[in-house]
Amino acid sequence: MADHAQEHAHDSAHAEGHDHDEHPVDNFWTKYVFSTDHKMIAKQFLITGMFMGLIGVFMSMLFRLQLAWPGESFPILETFLGKWAPDGVLDPNMYLALVTIHGTIMVFFVLTAGLSGTFSNLLIPLQIGARDMASGFLNMISYWLFAASSVVMLSSLFVETGPASGGWTVYPPLSALPQAMPGSGAGMTLWLVSMTLFVGGSLIGSLNYIVTVINLRTKGMTMTRLPLTIWAFLVTAILGVLSFPVLLSAALLLIFDRSMGTSFYLSDIMVAGELLSNQGGSPILYEHLFWFLGHPEVYIILLPALGITSEVIATNSRKPIFGYRAMIGSILAIAFLSFIVWGHHMFITGMNPFLGSVFTFTTLLIAIPSAVKAFNYITTLWKGNIQFTPAMLFSIALVSTFVAGGLTGIILGDSALDINVHDTYFVVAHFHIVMGLSAIFGMFAGVYHWFPKMYGRMMNKTMGYLHFWISFVTAYGVFFPMHFTGLAGLPRRYYSSAEFPIFDELHDINVIITFFAIGGGIAQLIFIFNFFYSMWRGPKAPQNPWRSNTLEWTAPVEHMHGNWPGAIPEVQRWPYDYSKPGYEEDFVPQNVPIKEGEHAH
């Protein structure tokens, strides 16, 4: 099978006909489980990501109950958490565990693997005109490492001492010392094992994406004719390859400190009455290593969503994306800058104040390419003929949250201001809006838009609308008010704010947030229902349901190995010829030759 994909990949450059009847017949295992076909692997990533997403969101609903009504009893907590919620009252350690696993799942499992894994896999070969990924076999391994890491992460929920609880950043010494909190025992070990597998899978996947984009583009598909989705996936993969290994080394050193008595991160510690022998290490080293991945990670999450949005907005505005080259330029600028801003997470760790200034400078610089992107999206809408598909709605929502969340980044990136809002709910509001919501909306946009490409059927539009509006309203309803609790000085990762009378006033806000959170969480069931219903019962998809220009819509609806039955289409033009003067239709697919006298982009 792997050889097969390679063989197709080889001839893709020559775009010659190929006889596909020679394929061995797929059985259940090779088709659905150990598949090397990029389209199937994309679906595997998506379903796994959605499953993890449901768990992550459900966890946030559970701990939001505690935050709105601290210390009150909720039978549902005991039902799901058992001994961690005796009589329905959440245990403080379990609160931290839920927050930690929620954060880990959302960031890595849903929005890294689920988002970029799904759409890089689905779209890279289809949009660049390749028969499959460069290596179908490695692609399969990448998914299975991700699946294994998901299983390990979920299994950590069931260990005696509970899952990792030190926050998704798992700073040592807290995460290194089982004496410091129960979650730093076996749960933390599993967390580290899981992340190690995860990084492995992510690296293999990313390398594959990079090689595929560089080598397997069909004839005529120059870099400046690539859809912005592909640019986004390519740059994301490069970010991943450069930064994930650093996370892996951070995790490895932590493993050594935990189980082999080394002192990379530990020095002069007395915990639970016991003096440790470790000396000379520094927890700050861990923070540097972690955030060297951690910040690029934000863009690893965000860029694919922005790429998807570019495509969806252009298609459904029936207009070329505005400033195509500027969009590529800003993706590259953001990617480059994302490697030199990690210190903004560490302004108050005691770093040299001069360094703080440097990181403030680089951080605020990122606002410029981000602003360019936002303005370009908005200008794309201008004088458009906007078709409000559910995907389009989610894309517009993404622009809105990207702007709203990006703006508060200007506050947090400023070292002087960060002193007082660091680690408060202001931060929680900021990153959920700019990264969480934007990326989730981008992911939904992608699913609604490319569902026909994945399953050959259409999703239900009306349910899509319902899902969108509830999600959009509740999302802002949850995270906008958090700015205010943050500005009231409420620290994040607090099990309860009831110990401080000064926070009593925030009770109403917390209740409002929780109502929105529960409403928004439940609304996702509409999506789940729509997804599975349409998968089996949705109307059959036409060849090109959104009348879009990119190559994937020239491939047959029925999936096949090698994507196109005959020759791979040749690319003649850029992907954004929408409503081009001189054409009857309001779209001109990439494989349509330039007419005589036509001005090519």
- Residues engaged in binding ligand HEM (CB under 6 A): 57, 60, 64, 99-100, 102-103, 106-107, 111, 167-168, 428, 432, 435-436, 440, 478, 492-494, 517, 520-521
- Identify the CA nearest to 125 among candidates 554, 532, 501, 601: 554
Taking a C-beta distance cutoff of 8 angstroms, is the pair 149, 208 a contact?
no
Helix (H) or strand (E) holding 405: helix 390-412
Residue 430 is a binding residue for Cu ion (CB under 5 A): no
Least CB distance to Cu ion at residue 362 (A): 10
**Does the footprint of Cu ion cover residue 295 (CB under 5 A)?**
yes
Give me the DSSP letters along 195-229. Answer: HHHHHHHHHHHHHHHHHHHHH-PPTT--GGGS-HH
Nearest residue (CB) to ligand HEM, 370 versus 524:
524
Q: Does 338 bind other proteins (CB under 8 A)?
A: no
d(CA 76, CA 63): 11
Question: What are the tokens at 419?
Answer: 């002193």
| CB contact at 8 A, 103 and 5 | no
Phi, psi of 271 (to 5 degrees): -130, 135
**Are 60 and 103 spatial neighbours (Cβ–Cβ below 8 Å)?**
no
The three-state secondary structure class of 540 is strand
* Alpha-carbon gap, residue 257 to 63, rounded angstroms: 31
What's the Cα-to-Cα distance from 475 to each of 225, 309, 467, 524, rounded to whole Å? 35, 18, 12, 12
Q: For the CB of residue 111, give the shortest distance to ligand HEM in the complex, in Å.
A: 5
Output the smallest distance, CB 176 to other proteins, in A: 9
Residue 592: exposure state from Cβ atoms within 10 A (0-12, 13-18, ≥19): middle
| Piece of 55-63, 121-129, 268-276, 292-300 that binds Cu ion (CB under 5 A) | 292-300
Q: Which of 495, 516, 531, 553 binds other proteins (CB under 8 A)?
A: 495
**Which amino acid belongs to residue 56?**
G
Cβ distance to ligand HEM smaller for residue 111 or 237: 111
User: What is the H or E stretch that residue 135 is in?
Assistant: none
Q: What's the min distance (Å) between Cβ of 390 and other proteins?
A: 9
* Residue with Cβ nearer Cu ion (313 or 334): 334
CB of 389 to other proteins, least distance (A): 5
Of 92-100, 288-296, 484-492, 521-529: span binding Cu ion (CB under 5 A): 288-296
Nearer to Cu ion among residue 414 and residue 598 (C-beta): 414
Site residues (CB under 8 A) for other proteins, limited to 82-141? 91-93, 96
Calculate the CA 60 to chain-centre distance.
17
Q: Which is nearer to other proteins, 339 or 533 (by Cβ)?
A: 533
CA distance 514 to 586: 45
CA distances from 214 to 114, 244, 325, 569 (A): 23, 21, 18, 18
Q: Which of 215, 375, 560, 570 binds other proteins (CB under 8 A)?
A: 375
Segment interacting with other proteins, rule: CB under 8 A, options 14-22, 44-52, 315-323, 335-343? 315-323
* Closer residue to other proteins (CB): 262 or 496: 496
Which of 168/484 has CB closer to ligand HEM? 168
By the 8 A CB rule, do 468 and 139 touch?
no
* 175 versus 590: smaller Cβ distance to ligand HEM: 175
| 91/132 with CB nearer other proteins | 91
Among 135-143, 249-257, 300-308, 314-322, the segment contacting other proteins (CB under 8 A)? 314-322
Buried b (16+ CB within 10 A) or exposed e, 9-34: beebeebeebeeeeeeeeeeeeeeee
User: At how many degrees (to 10) do helices 438-455 and 283-317 cross?
Assistant: 50
440 binds, among ligand HEM, Cu ion, other proteins, none (CB under 5 to 8 A by kind): ligand HEM
Q: Which of 506, 513, 523, 568 binds other proteins (CB under 8 A)?
A: 506
Cβ neighbours of residue 379 closer than 8 Å, sequence gap 6 or more: 322, 323
In 291-309, which positions are buried (b, 16+ CB within 10 angstroms) versus exposed (e)?
Answer: bbbbbbbbbbbbbbbbbbb
Residue 467: CB minimum distance to other proteins, A: 13
Report what 222 binds from Cu ion, other proteins, ligand HEM, none; CB cut-off 5-8 Å by kind.
none
Instruction: Write each residue from 244 to 283 as x if it is in contact with other proteins (CB under 8 A), else as -, in one continuous string.
Output: ----------------------xxxxxxx--x---xxxxx
Backbone angles phi, psi at 193, to 5 degrees: -60, -45
Residues in the interface with other proteins (CB under 8 A) total 129
Binder of other proteins out of 466, 493, 519, 592 (CB under 8 A): 493
Beta carbon of residue 494, minimum distance to other proteins (angstroms, whole number): 4
User: 245 or 477: whose CB is closer to other proteins?
Assistant: 477
Comparing CA positions, the residue from 4, 18, 41 lying closest to residue 454 is: 41
Binding mask 518-537 for other proteins (x = CB under 8 A): -----------x---x---x
Q: How far apart are the first and last CA of the chain?
A: 39
> What mask of x and - would describe binding to other proteins in positions 450 to 489, judged by CB under 8 A?
--------xxxxx--x---x--xx--x---xx--xx-xxx
Q: Which is nearer to ligand HEM, 99 or 306 (CB)?
A: 99
- The answer to whether residue 307 forms part of the interface with other proteins (CB under 8 A) is no
Both structure tokens of 74: 């909720």
Site mask, Cu ion, residues 534-573, x = CB under 5 A?
----------------------------------------
Question: Is the Cβ of residue 102 or residue 295 nearer to Cu ion in the bound state?
Answer: 295
Q: Is residue 355 at the binding interface for other proteins, with CB under 8 A as the rule?
A: no
At closest approach, how far in Å is the CB of 341 from Cu ion? 6
Specify the amino acid at residue 512: I
Rounded to 5 degrees, φ, ψ at 110 are: -85, -50
161 binds other proteins (CB under 8 A): no
Residue 154 and residue 521: Cα distance in Å, rounded?
20
Q: Which residues bind Cu ion (CB under 5 A)?
A: 295
